[in-house]
Amino acid sequence: MNNIFSMRRFSQLFVNHTIASYRMYSMSFGVLMGILFLMMVYASAENKFILSENARQMFFTTFMFIGGAIFTTGIFSNLGDKRKAIAYLMLPASNFEKFLVAWLYSFVIFQLVYVAGFYLIDLTVMSLGKRVTNESAIMNFGADFRYSTLLLAFAWIHSMGFFGAILFKKLHFIKTAFSVFVLLLLVVLLNKFSIDWMMGASVETGEPFGSLMIYEGKKSYFLERSEMIWLVPYLTASIALLLWVGAYFKLKETEV
């Protein structure tokens, strides 16, 4: 077990990674927050710096997913440089410990820092609006905007980016994004063609287990989404877990 995980060894690796990367991470986070701040100020300027709840939720989700994907796909950038890859692979730590440090930074720490940064920006922008209104407008998570749903979606995005970060040596984000786009396109097409074949009619459908619009001649029929829709979160979580496991074994097999 000590060959796989040692708290002392893991702690030293985490500290060394933090010391070596904190400047780059800080600059990257600063750029992300700077763009977010400018976008929110621009969007709210014409409305006396007041943003609707839906607008702030859109900003929160969009920048979280895109920023997280870009950051995650670059978490193993050292493996793309032969000299850095040799030094990284020769570190006196197990592959699991290296995997865990990268996973914690890109999945856990990123979310914590991002949420804190977003609320700081949200308060700053909304404070400008309080000059003309007493309305408190800090964004809240509620029944229609649950963080648990975002967490599941982010886990799915993160797992694909994490696997792509190890699989590809160069242009991690572009290659991963293109691969995901092609895969999703194939899934959508396969879903439509398979349903058309089973129904024996032209079917308009979106996501798997979603609602259907069936066209037969001049007649059309609408079917509500399948009761199996409850499986989607579990399938999403399973895919994320499988990709994380796959990323770990891919890291074990990595050679310079």
Annotated domain spans of the chain: 7-253
Q: How far apart are CA 116 and CA 197, in angstroms?
A: 49
For residue 4, what are its two tokens? 């796989």
Q: How far apart are CA 195 and CA 124, in angstroms?
A: 50
pLDDT tens per residue across span 72-110: 999 988 887 788 888 888 888 899 999 999 999 999 999
Residue 189, strand partner residues: none
Q: How far is CA 250 from CA 92, 95, 178, 244, in A?
A: 19, 10, 20, 10
Handedness of CA 102, 107, 108, 110 (dihedral sign): positive
Most confident of 37-51, 59-73, 79-93, 186-200: 59-73
Structure confidence at residue 72 (pLDDT): 95
pLDDT tens per residue across span 161-171: 999 999 888 88
For residue 153, what are its two tokens? 């979606």
Q: How far apart are CA 42 and CA 49, in angstroms?
A: 9
Between 217 and 73, where is the model more confident? Answer: 73
Structure confidence at residue 85 (pLDDT): 82
DSSP-derived 3-state class of residue 223 = strand
Q: How far apart are CA 57 and CA 143, in angstroms?
A: 13
187: pLDDT strictly greater than 80 = no
User: Tokens 């509620």, residue?
Assistant: 142
Is-contact 101 242, C-beta < 8 A?
A: no
Identify each DSSP E strand in 15-166 by its residue range: none
Q: Is the pTM of this model over 0.85?
A: no
Q: How far apart are CA 212 and CA 245, in angstroms?
A: 34
199: pLDDT strictly greater than 60 = no
Most confident of 125-139, 185-199, 237-251: 237-251
Q: What mean pLDDT, rounded, does the chain reach?
A: 82
Identify each DSSP E strand in 77-196 by its residue range: none
Closest CA to 229 of 207, 256, 205: 207
Is-contact 240 247, C-beta < 8 A?
A: no
Least confident of 9-13, 133-137, 153-157: 133-137
Q: Summarize the confidence of residues 204-228 as an average pLDDT.
A: 57
Q: Summarize the confidence of residues 17-36 as an average pLDDT.
A: 94
Structure confidence at residue 207 (pLDDT): 58
pLDDT class of 25 with cuts at 50, 70, 90: very high
Closest CA to 58 of 122, 7, 1: 122
Per DSSP, helices labelled H in 1-132 are 7-45, 53-73, 82-89, 95-103, 110-129
Least confident of 14-23, 66-75, 191-200: 191-200
Cβ neighbours of residue 60 closer than 8 Å, sequence gap 6 or more: 118, 139
What are the backbone dihedrals phi and psi of residue 127, each rounded to the nearest 5 degrees, phi first? -65, -30
